[in-house]
Structure 1
């Protein structure tokens, strides 16, 4: 089994996307390979302008919870999702967009941030990545 982490990013919630990127960047920093397979609401975060748009999974309160959380994160020097994604790509992380989800949600490749996506695939693409991984997560 390879020294690799593969994560299904199914949720588009801000806090869950933070979790996926923080674990991914930690894995990359420890010398592991990392693949993120974006599907369903997670894939919506890869739309142009969509990375920072997700709600909190809990205590969203019509956006007030997210605003409070972002304020606390800024106060504690937590990197933005855009910065974490840029770091992920700079460290060699791989992003896969689910083609089935694109079809279901009526998305075209041109709707997505194409320069960060490494591959487009279906469940078989994810399985191939996961079967070569020491760590697999579903977020």
Structure 2
């Protein structure tokens, strides 16, 4: 095992994507390697113009809850998802997009943000990342 964190990003909910990126950035900042494996609804956030989209997991209230949370986050100077993703990539974080999910959901590579994705892979890719990790999470 290496000093590495691997996170499955299964949910596309805004707060859960925040959690994955905050943990990933934290691991990288502490000298660890980090991989985020985006699958199912999480994969939607890797589409062009998709990172900042997505509801809250709780209290979305037709989008009003998300607007309220975004306002509070702005007042507290919390970085945007785009900024967290940029930091994650600049710190050397790895992004893997699930090929099986892309096939199931009819997502084409040209719909995806190629600037974010390091690799397209299936379950074996995730297993290898997780096998080499001290920390694995499912978000």
**TM-score normalized with structure 1 length:** 0.99
SS at match of 1:115: coil
1:92-107 aligned within 5 A = 92-107=92-107
1:77-92 aligned within 5 A = 77-92=77-92
1:1-139 aligned within 5 A = 1-139=1-139
Q: Distance in 2 between matches of 1:116 and 1:52?
A: 14
Q: Distance in 2 between matches of 1:36 and 1:10?
A: 10
Q: Distance in 2 between matches of 1:45 and 1:93?
A: 16
Q: Distance in 2 between matches of 1:122 and 1:116?
A: 17
Q: Distance in 1 between matches of 2:29 and 2:110?
A: 31
Deviation at 1:116, TM superposition (A): 1.0
Q: Distance in 2 between matches of 1:110 and 1:37?
A: 19
Residues 32-91 of structure 1: per-residue CA shift (max 9 Å, x gap): 000000000000010000000110000000000000000000000000000000000000
Query: Cα RMSD (Å) of the superposition?
Result: 0.3
**TM-score normalized with structure 2 length:** 0.99
Q: Distance in 1 between matches of 2:109 and 2:44?
A: 12
Unpaired runs of 5+ residues, structure 2, are none
Residues 83-130 of structure 1: per-residue CA shift (max 9 Å, x gap): 000000000000000000000111111100011100000000000000
Q: Matched residue pairs, number?
A: 139
